[in-house]
Structure 1
Amino acid sequence: MNIRWERTGSAPVPDHARQHRVRMRDGVRLATDVYLPPDISADAGADADTGTGPQELPAVLVRLPYDKNSRYVYFDRIASLFTARGYALVVQDVRGKFRSGGQTLPFLREPLDGYDAIDWITHQPWSNGVVGMFGDSYYGFTQWAAVAAQHPALRAIVPRVTTVDFNGTTQSDPFDPSPVGRPVWLEGIEYYAHYWVDNTVYDFTPDRSVRPVIEQYEQAFTAMGARSAWFDLLAPRYTNLLPALGRHPFDARPVPVLHCVGWFDNISVPHMRDYLELASRPGWDAVQYLWAGAIDHENYHLDLAPAAPADDHAHDESALDRMLPGYAGPALDFFDVFLKGVRPVSSLPKVAWELGHDGWRTAEAWPPAGSTERTFWLTEPARARGPLPGGTLSDEPSDSNRDADGYGNGDGEQSVQWVYDPESLVPSQVANSFSFLQSYPDEARLAAREDVLVFTSPALAEPLDLAGPIGLALRVTSTGETFDVFAKVLDIGPDGQAHMIARGQVSVRSLPAPEEIPVALGHTGYRLRPGHRLALTLAGSDYPMFLPSSGSTENPWTTLAPKPSTQTLYADAVTRLTVTVLADPGATGSASATASGTPSV
């Protein structure tokens, strides 16, 4: 065993921040930075030069586990954008992380700690008693936890690339009797082994050759001399997080929400589910807003993918400066309405969304008015196991599979098989799906594998504008007791390069196999340009992003001998890809854009 690892601690507090040790109700103190406009005194709430007149401000709170002073979250730079607009920015290390005290466990204390942090803000001399919250991923979840706690000062939130239920994204409940669930998102659970061990962060690469898979992490914990209690809780079992919050956030007092979704974010499916549920709930519906851009979890943009060194904001300071106005701008506009009241509610579009390759638009609802469903049938399956173009995505089912009504199975049923081999897994195309657009891989080589099926449409004569949900229905049987299906929708360019638009995956109990297997591929806004083709790939694994199937009723974390299987896909009236399209491309028009590339509101 030779596991190499690195440990990263706290970065220095910047000179323009003032750090406080804020006491929680149980006595634990959390490290908290306050950024104020330069003319505001942190001590007296008065003009720093004249000392006269109270200068009370609305505050925006961020609660995160990634070191409030790190280059990774760049809040020392973001702060100047907030303070220039007249906000105090308050950034806090959550309990058990970096400079904050307490036990290192995610999620469980966030409602109470969020309430106490907001309460502390309201008692500061520079505070006017109005608080909003902002942030990505886990620091999007801490906003939902604070909503559940219902502090009256919390007036608006801007959760970005996140979801209310992170544990629900990683795996399915094994006690759920449904035959169709989700594969274990190994990358998602592995996150806890890196970020939730102690106050610091551990960087290591597991030995992917080791079996059982759980032993890869046991080796890493042994080498580090420390382990993650939350990883131990989740792997190899399922834990339902939401009851621990005491109150589901959606059952709390409604607050205005700007959902900032990335079409290429690996958490976009549950985030869109959160938005659509709240947009349909009386009381919540009037204050739900959607901003949806062609970005991934780490804020890389489709227009710059793959990221050249000069455009990679993770490493280039000028690229970061160019990225930040578009990152913070929608939130600041939102807070100007709901925290300051200096702009009318009517100035905010209910939906601001980006059509990939064609710019920003606005709508009254999502999907936009005028969108319709279009169905593609998977035909010519005999050609599907091989390189592009493979089988065909057709506007009608195969003639041989129609009955007298035009849609049933005919006498000439067509099918194709693919093999799941646990000794030759289909490799994940990116090392880190959180920054998918940073590398934006060409998937053509993946489509050429024998164990991957591919179906491709004819080349488009006109643009095809995708604007809404994408769904897949399959009829598949297997020789295994359990099997996984990984589906990707691709854009095939005239040069033969294949780039992912959306993805989805299911885990199936095949005894008996369901007649129809639904696969949700989330939502998107994306233009397929003339000369391009729409494609669909199907595979049985995606490792190491997802835990490989055991092929049996054994736990995939602990099995020493996962079983191979053969899957049969039936190209009939059940098996179809459904996309949501704008009926008249370009009819809704592009919104006016700011220098940051997002719509002007």
Structure 2
Amino acid sequence: MKIIARISVLAVAIAAFGPPLGAQIDPMTPDTVKVYDPAREQADYIRREVMIPMRDGVKLFTVIVMHKGTNHGPILLSRTPYNAGKATSRNRSQKIEEILPVSDAEFVNDGYIRVYQDVRGLDGSEGDYVMTRPLRGPLNHTQVDHSTDAYDTIDWLVKNVPESNGKVGITGSSYLGFTSLMALIDPHPALKAAVPQSPMVDGWIGDDWFHNGAFRQPNFNYVLGQTAKKGGGGVPYGTGDEYEAYLAEGSAGDFARAYGLDIFPFSRKLMEHPAYDSYWQEQAVDKLLAKRKLTVPTMLVVGQWDQEDSYGAPAVYKALEPQDKNNDMVSLIIGPWRHSGVNYDGSRLGDLDFAGDTGLQFRRDTMKPFLDHYLKDDPPKGYKVPGALSYETGADKWQVMAKWPGGKATPLYLSAGNGLNWVRPATEGSDSYASDPAKPVPYLPRPILPNKDDAWKTWLVKDQRFVAGRPDVLSYMTPVLDKPVHIAGQPMVDLFAATSGTDSDWVVKLIDVYPEQYSNVPKMAGYQLPIGIEIYRGRYVHGFDKSEALVPGRVENYKFGLPNVNHVFQSGHRIMVTVQSSLFPLYDRNPQSFVPSIFNAKKSDYRIATQSVHYGAGKASAIWLPVMPD
């Protein structure tokens, strides 16, 4: 018996600490190890991987991370299509701040339990993946969606994470902002707060896939990377100029067919629904939420220069704010960021420098107090939810408002001599240009190279002088401002225009023109800073749900919004508005002759058209600025 006991003790010691020093391993022992846990005994965190069952039996891969010793901690959940495992093992480290995204530090260092989950069908989760899976109903014949998956996940977490206090918040940016919003539809009682950031809300009106009917071609890269089980990544057209690559193939549909992208179900869905039909309307999250009572305090976040999802957060705020009678249930935050820039260093964007790390400022001073208030057992006293918080670009400071927007709609009129005036011109006139689909206006200086210098992240603040002087770009400008003009809200385009063709796109840019001599910041001398850029596909001027040919020469009134902003045009600067008919290859080219679907346009359909912009009297083109009082 003593011999057996000694052998047992030795076996336990070997299992725990490895073989005794000096012991040799057989040379033919297989060298693979099934599992290695990088979180060693000295780690300051606990990291668990679990499979959480949903109501239909599908299990979702979930990672739970917290500091050792956490007790009664609030749970902060993110549901992601971008690999929860990688998001929670950013570096091989024994420090929690190092393995999680930088934006999590303020939370986990104050007792929060951070949870990331793969959405169904991707990475470690079971089930079928459907891009931005629609809510169960007309477009979803199953009984599960992101709302039910969030509910079931939260239910499991509050019952099976003993270190938690049973209160859950949800957050995340872009697709994760979308899943955060979907959790607000029939929410779990333990869901106490939400911070959706740059959420995908309406993929046709103004978020990822289309903007006012114009298709965003780089999405083909996203579809390939997101939905190919093998061979994903970027479209294999090489490393040259994207402008040439797209132009060479013809229509966006021809591009898709040339590279085999038409076999992807989501590519087909995009190309089969070019108009704002029920496919898009039934998925619009702002419309879905507007039909329900808001029960979860929600802080909506967006970047002023969000190059992917500028529409969603303000649209949801607009839909929900009428329910907020006490001004404490929904708030809107607009920071000086790119898409998802709130979660990174926010001290600069392209050539713009701000007053400190604005991303950290928001997370530390606004987001965390908001979540603390609703999720902690003993939150700090005296907290008040901000109705709207935005960063005044041009003045470099944060501004709190009771509601958004803060400014009053004030027209700035296009006028003769390429002018912009606060007074409507009495005399009607027009300016014209030839739009050639064979020579579309680029959205970035050429060559447009994939991922060069973070060009995609910063294109919305690119100095617009690279298109100055093109004959197919009309420019209108105020005199030098003798006092600042402060705008806070959504600038609205009110454009009277005609084409000699039967279809047309209209691109409008609102620009802050810096003085030619600017010794304070020499790199900004003469800079043409875009404050807002948007496109509108002319065929939808009489209704987004169906397209129709334009009548050659008929003046139509195109009304659409630019992104929401808080900006000060300083004295000594000038305000500029430009009009053009392409923004390529970000948006597919309009052939300028009507075809049922531009995805199927033939090369012979692409024709030069004469575009005319009208101003004054009864056709007074203007941009309505949300001007703040002095």
Q: How does the TM-score come out when normalised to structure 2?
A: 0.75
Moved more, 190-199 or 415-424: 190-199
Structure 2's unaligned 5+ residue stretches are 1-35, 40-44, 92-97, 134-144, 238-244, 517-525, 540-549
- Whether 1:566 aligns to 2:610 is yes
Native 8 Å contact 1:104 1:199 kept in 2: no
Native 8 Å contact 2:205 2:212 kept in 1: no
- Residue 475 of structure 1: aligned partner: 496
Change beyond 3 A, Cα 1:185–1:322:
closer
- Whether 1:333 aligns to 2:369 is yes
Change beyond 3 A, Cα 1:557–1:485:
same
Native 8 Å contact 1:172 1:181 kept in 2: no
Change beyond 3 A, Cα 1:451–1:195:
same
- Residue 367 of structure 1: aligned partner: 405
* Counterparts of residues 91-110 of structure 1 (less than 5 Å): 91-108=116-133, 109-110=145-146
* Distance in structure 1 (CA, Å) of the matches to 2:578 and 2:75: 47
User: What SS does the corresponding residue of 2:185 show, helix, strand or coil?
Assistant: helix
- Residue 350 of structure 1: aligned partner: 387
- Whether 1:243 aligns to 2:286 is no
Aligned match for 1:57, one of 48, 68, 73: 73
Native 8 Å contact 2:220 2:235 kept in 1: no
> In the alignment, residue 479 of structure 1 is paired with which amino acid?
S
Change beyond 3 A, Cα 1:24–1:200:
farther
* Distance in structure 2 (CA, Å) of the matches to 1:569 and 1:325: 43
Aligned match for 1:148, one of 149, 173, 185: 185
Change beyond 3 A, Cα 1:252–1:556:
same
Aligned match for 1:547, one of 580, 588, 604: 588
- Whether 1:579 aligns to 2:579 is no
User: What SS does the corresponding residue of 2:215 show, helix, strand or coil?
Assistant: coil
- Whether 1:128 aligns to 2:165 is yes
- Residue 234 of structure 1: aligned partner: 270
Change beyond 3 A, Cα 1:199–1:583:
farther
Deviation beyond 6 Å, 4+ runs, structure 1:
244-247
- Residue 7 of structure 2: aligned partner: none
Deviations along 1:469-525, one digit per CA (max 9) or x if unpaired, are 211211111111111100010111113221100122211132384642213113211
> In the alignment, residue 243 of structure 1 is paired with which amino acid?
E
* Distance in structure 2 (CA, Å) of the matches to 1:564 and 1:13: 63
The number of residue pairs the alignment matches comes to 518
- Whether 1:258 aligns to 2:296 is no
- Residue 160 of structure 1: aligned partner: 197
- Residue 271 of structure 1: aligned partner: 313
User: What SS does the corresponding residue of 2:339 show, helix, strand or coil?
Assistant: coil
* Counterparts of residues 273-422 of structure 1 (less than 5 Å): 273-281=315-323, 286-299=328-341, 304-306=348-350, 324=360, 326-327=362-363, 330-340=366-376, 342-344=379-381, 346-358=383-395, 359-368=397-406, 371-381=407-417, 391-399=418-426, 401=427, 413-422=428-437
- Whether 1:36 aligns to 2:66 is yes
Q: How does the TM-score come out when normalised to structure 1?
A: 0.78
* Distance in structure 1 (CA, Å) of the matches to 2:197 and 2:208: 22
* Distance in structure 1 (CA, Å) of the matches to 2:268 and 2:374: 41
Native 8 Å contact 2:209 2:219 kept in 1: no
Instruction: Note the aligned Cα RMSD (angstroms).
Output: 3.3
* Distance in structure 2 (CA, Å) of the matches to 1:245 and 1:199: 30
Larger radius of gyration, structure 1 or 2?
Answer: 2
* Distance in structure 1 (CA, Å) of the matches to 2:192 and 2:335: 24
- Residue 66 of structure 1: aligned partner: 82
User: What SS does the corresponding residue of 1:140 show, helix, strand or coil?
Assistant: helix
Q: Offset of 1:103 from its aligned partner?
A: 2.1
User: What SS does the corresponding residue of 1:465 show, helix, strand or coil?
Assistant: strand
- Residue 19 of structure 1: aligned partner: 49
Name the % identity: 24
Change beyond 3 A, Cα 1:67–1:83:
same
User: What SS does the corresponding residue of 2:214 show, helix, strand or coil?
Assistant: coil
> In the alignment, residue 338 of structure 1 is paired with which amino acid?
Y
* Distance in structure 1 (CA, Å) of the matches to 2:411 and 2:434: 27
Native 8 Å contact 1:279 1:286 kept in 2: no
Change beyond 3 A, Cα 1:523–1:193:
same
Change beyond 3 A, Cα 1:227–1:441:
same
- Residue 575 of structure 2: aligned partner: 534
Aligned match for 1:426, one of 430, 434, 441: 441
Q: Offset of 1:30 from its aligned partner?
A: 1.9
Native 8 Å contact 1:111 1:145 kept in 2: yes
> In the alignment, residue 362 of structure 1 is paired with which amino acid?
V
Change beyond 3 A, Cα 1:540–1:76:
closer
